[in-house]
Structure 1
């Protein structure tokens, strides 16, 4: 496979940190800077990344901004990811109980279906996004099979199948199965019916229906 450039769109408000300048020095990155409707970085047109330093994460929990952002990310047609950058320090925000932080992170992953990954520095954040983009390229070219964890129980295998679709995380997969009752019923559901499932949204419902209903062509 020939080496492909990775197109990354950085929100223009991210120019105050070092990440866009680090990306600009990467020969494999095609960097664009403009205002994004949600998220801080669009990676390869398939991954939407919200990046937060530890202090900003804590502030966004206090003022409720985190959950508004999480809702917008969950409605995107792209897969979503929250990267928390830096080190948690004792008494970073004395007014915020540790239980509130754990509850917020649990809500992000289980309710909104947004995975949370940790990095220590801006450089590591860039590397993480590039690793994700390269792995996605490998899969798109059929180089990597879906290996690793294979659940044994029936209900976990059903969830696993749905989580193989772009933008469908554990919470949304569970909502789909609880709503329709079986995988075949999920696949037979209309776009309008899918749109009514909590966490699905218009764009994800349209993308899911298109993926299931489109004729396979080798050149696509």
Structure 2
């Protein structure tokens, strides 16, 4: 249980404690050092989900533009956002750096922005700042406003990663690997059909209603490829 005391005075700076929790791996980060200088000192814990949890159970996943791009490419972003949505009702993705830089780092800008669109559709607010100082100022006010709303004081709502939801993540990863299917389309297909078997056995007309004519044609032809035809074709034939 976290103590009820919320502040101590040190060197003429009012240091607010326990208004937010940071993952212990964030210790020493520039962002937290800036927040500490403003008088907002986090308590540290091992967070299975998110990098920070603010008073009232607001979860924040922090990423530099380099980490954002790499997490999109290796699938970590889908995993992290999915788990955060399973655990916290209020959440945001905090990106630090320039999106122009992210475009340069990404081999496919469509993948970058479709992933951000998918994140938004999952109910995660995306906040982008070019500098750590700006992000610290934002977090400072988020902490302050959320603590004002939490009249009873702050008891960090750290929640552990649930075991459920892994199957859905694996299904989304399978769908995202299909030609022309990104995170947004994968989520749309799963929401509409409910399972991989239903998607793979869907008629052309049903696929078209969800993903449009062009994608539906590619997917339907791929799903209904005969064994001999499969030997003669590669996935690039369906791009």
TM-score range, shorter chain: 0.5 to 0.7
CA displacement at 1:107 relative to structure 2: 0.4
CA displacement at 1:77 relative to structure 2: 3.3
Q: Is 2:158 the counterpart of 1:117?
A: no
Of residues 77, 80, 84, the one that matches 1:73 is 84
CA contact (8 A) 1:55 1:92 kept: no
1:139/1:35 CA distance change after superposition, 3 Å: closer
The residue that corresponds to 2:51 in the other structure is 40
The structure with the greater share of residues assigned to helix is 2
CA contact (8 A) 1:82 1:115 kept: yes
Q: Is 2:54 the counterpart of 1:50?
A: no
CA distance in 1, matches of 2:113, 2:100: 15
Length-normalised TM-score, structure 2 = 0.51
The residue that corresponds to 1:12 in the other structure is 24
CA displacement at 1:123 relative to structure 2: 1.7
1:89/1:24 CA distance change after superposition, 3 Å: same
Larger radius of gyration between Structure 1 and Structure 2:
2
The residue that corresponds to 1:105 in the other structure is 116
CA contact (8 A) 2:69 2:106 kept: no
The residue that corresponds to 1:64 in the other structure is 75
- Name the SS of the counterpart of 2:123 in structure 1: coil
Gap regions ≥5 residues in structure 1: 142-220
The residue that corresponds to 1:174 in the other structure is none
CA distance in 1, matches of 2:81, 2:117: 12
CA distance in 2, matches of 1:132, 1:119: 14
CA displacement at 1:140 relative to structure 2: 4.8
Q: State the Cα RMSD in Å.
A: 2.4
The residue that corresponds to 1:31 in the other structure is 42
Gap regions ≥5 residues in structure 2: 1-5, 8-15, 152-239
CA contact (8 A) 2:24 2:46 kept: yes
CA displacement at 1:24 relative to structure 2: 2.3
Length-normalised TM-score, structure 1 = 0.56
CA distance in 2, matches of 1:41, 1:94: 26
CA displacement at 1:78 relative to structure 2: 4.5
